[in-house]
Amino acid sequence: MDTPEKKKVIFSAIQPSGTITLGNYLGALRNWVKLQDDYNCIFAVADLHAITVRQEPKKFRENILNAYALLLACGIDTEKSLFFIQSHVHTHAELAWVLNCYTQFGELSRMTQFKDKSLKHADNVNAGLFAYPSLMAADILLYRSDMVPVGADQKQHLELARNIAERFNGVYGNTFTVPDPYISTVGARVMSLQDPTKKMSKSDENVNAWVAVLDKPDTIMKKFKRAVTDSEAEVRVGEGKDGINNLIGIMSAVTGKTSDEITEEFEGKGYGDFKTAVAEAVIEEVKPIQERFDDYIKNKDYLAEQYRKSAEIALKISQRTLDKAMKKIGFIAK
Ligand code: ATP
Ligand code: LTN
């Protein structure tokens, strides 16, 4: 963090809404780790976002700390990047309120995630779930972020953040940096092992649909062995072969081999052998992460030192943006 002015700013966050999956890791976290050398990166565990669906307090506390430790274990480095817990930096909730007043009901009503989640949690369609994108906009805009690495599912929210920033700047003059999406070229989209037309999601109730980065080796093996495939027995990328395409994608992301190389390697072999090989490659990939995680999670003091150190700096940076925005609106400075 020597020359934060010179490097472009990247912001991203992940919700501690459950266990972190292989999809989160291959599609997002692994890329964040790589970005740390070239950008001024700011990452957060988005705990405020997570309470838009009901959380059991004990489990929630555990999920937040586990997510923090796991991201460190994946290679998020607090010497290079800021990495904090969202609720520890109060400017996020404050700017979110302000931005709520610059976000239209109609815009929020069009968000597909809101529509999906309100169907899924029909008994708890709360105002926070509806206003979720203005909190996400606050996260991003507070740090004058240039780029936001997000998966396809979050593009609509990012587009809204851009609109909010442009609208505010239009009324009050240049206040917020308008962020661009950062679409990684190497990011894998990992699909569910049980329904490979759907993305692998940590909130999927079917535990066999996802593999967690912290799953034990025999669990990983079992889940891959149960993965849905097709009735052919050819390890190759093809139409109507969503399950095998997904397994090839995972194998390729983990080993760096191309799909052609994988096809060649498994010529004449059955799906059973291939599934075992994919499971073994994944087990190998997550092993060092799990070992580091076990160390970090035992050391609560070290974790606290890291998230506090980052939160303190994040507060200073974000407070400047919040103050600027509030001053422009007409609030009286403290
Ligand atoms: P939820 O089920 O609670 O919606 P999720 O598993 O879909 O959670 P998010 O917290 O929404 O995960 O996403 C965290 C990051 O991981 C995002 O950048 C998202 O694009 C990425 N991601 C999530 N699932 C996948 C996947 N299956 N493949 C690739 N990237 C993914
Ligand atoms: N909504 C995102 C998590 C998230 C985020 C952000 C991502 C919260 N704030 C800011 C990028 C930028 C999700 O569910 N994946």
What number is the average pLDDT over the span 317-334?
A: 97
Q: Is residue 187 pLDDT above 70, yes or no? A: no
Residues 106 and 70 in one domain: yes
Domain membership flag for residue 138: yes
What number is the average pLDDT over the span 14-43?
A: 93
At residue 186, the pLDDT reads 55
Q: What percent of the chain has pLDDT over 70?
A: 97
Quick check: is 202 catalytic?
Answer: yes
At residue 17, the pLDDT reads 81
Residues 305 and 283 in one domain: no
Q: For ligand 1, say whether the CB of 201 is within 6 Å of any of its atoms.
A: yes
DSSP-derived letter for residue 153 is: G
Q: For ligand 1, say whether the CB of 24 is within 6 Å of any of its atoms.
A: yes
Q: Which atom of ligand 1 is nearest to the CA of 204?
A: 2
DSSP line for 304-323: HHHHHHHHHHHHHHHHHHHH
Q: Which ligand is nearest to the CA of 203?
A: 1
Quick check: is 8 catalytic?
Answer: no
Say which of 202, 223, 241, 275 is annotated catalytic: 202
Check which CATH number belongs to the domain holding 169 and give it.
3.40.50.620
Residue of 35, 153, 214, 246 to mutate, ligand 1, most atoms within 8 A of C-beta: 153
Retrieve residue 98's tokens: 């302000």
Retrieve residue 325's tokens: 């925005």
| Domains of the chain: total | 2
pLDDT band, residue 315 (cuts 50/70/90)? very high
Q: How far is the CA of 44 from the centre of ligand 2 (A)?
A: 9
What number is the average pLDDT over the span 276-297?
A: 98
Retrieve residue 168's tokens: 């505010």
At residue 316, the pLDDT reads 98
**Burial (CB count <10 Å: 0-12, 13-18, 19+), residue 161:** buried
Residues 321 and 270 in one domain: no
Strands (DSSP E) found in 143-195: 147-149, 180-182
Residues 129 and 271 in one domain: no
Which amino acid residue places its CA nearest to atom 19 of ligand 1? 151
What number is the average pLDDT over the span 181-187?
A: 70
Q: What percent of the chain has pLDDT over 90?
A: 89
Residues 45 and 155 in one domain: yes
Residues 159 and 236 in one domain: no
Q: Which atom of ligand 1 is nearest to the CA of 199?
A: 27
Residues 100 and 138 in one domain: yes
Residue of 14, 117, 143 to mutate, ligand 2, most atoms within 8 A of C-beta: 14
- In degrees rounded to 5, what are phi and psi of residue 43? -125, 150
Domain that holds residue 133: 9-187+300-329
At residue 271, the pLDDT reads 96
Q: Is residue 251 pLDDT above 70, yes or no? A: yes
Q: Is residue 4 pLDDT above 70, yes or no? A: no
Dihedral sign (CA 51, 75, 157, 122): negative
Quick check: is 6 catalytic?
Answer: no
Q: What is the strand order of the sheet 40-45 is part of?
A: 82-85, 40-45, 9-14, 147-149, 180-182
Which residue shows structure tokens 């649909």? 209
Q: Which amino acid is at 78?
A: T
Q: For ligand 2, say whether the CB of 24 is within 6 Å of any of its atoms.
A: no
> How does pLDDT run across 73-129, given as a tens digit for each residue?
999 999 999 999 999 999 999 999 999 999 999 999 999 999 999 998 899 999 999
Residues 39 and 139 in one domain: yes
Q: How far is the CA of 195 from the centre of ligand 2 (A)?
A: 25
Rounded-to-integer distance, Cα 313 and Cα 90, Å: 12
Q: Is residue 241 pLDDT above 90, yes or no? A: yes
Residues 304 and 284 in one domain: no
Q: Which atom of ligand 1 is nearest to the CA of 21?
A: 6
CB atoms near residue 29 (< 10 Å): 22
Rounded-to-integer distance, Cα 313 and Cα 88, Å: 11
Q: Are 258 and 252 in contact (CB under 8 A)?
A: yes
DSSP-derived letter for residue 192 is: P
Residue of 10, 24, 194, 247 to mutate, ligand 1, most atoms within 8 A of C-beta: 24
Q: For ligand 2, say whether the CB of 15 is within 6 Å of any of its atoms.
A: yes
Domain membership flag for residue 196: no
At residue 183, the pLDDT reads 75
Which residue shows structure tokens 């609509």? 156
pLDDT band, residue 185 (cuts 50/70/90)? low
What number is the average pLDDT over the span 301-316?
A: 98
Residues 53 and 94 in one domain: yes
Mean pLDDT (the chain) is: 94
- Choose between 132 and 2: higher pLDDT: 132
Residues 174 and 227 in one domain: no
Q: Which amino acid is at 301?
A: D
Domain membership flag for residue 2: no
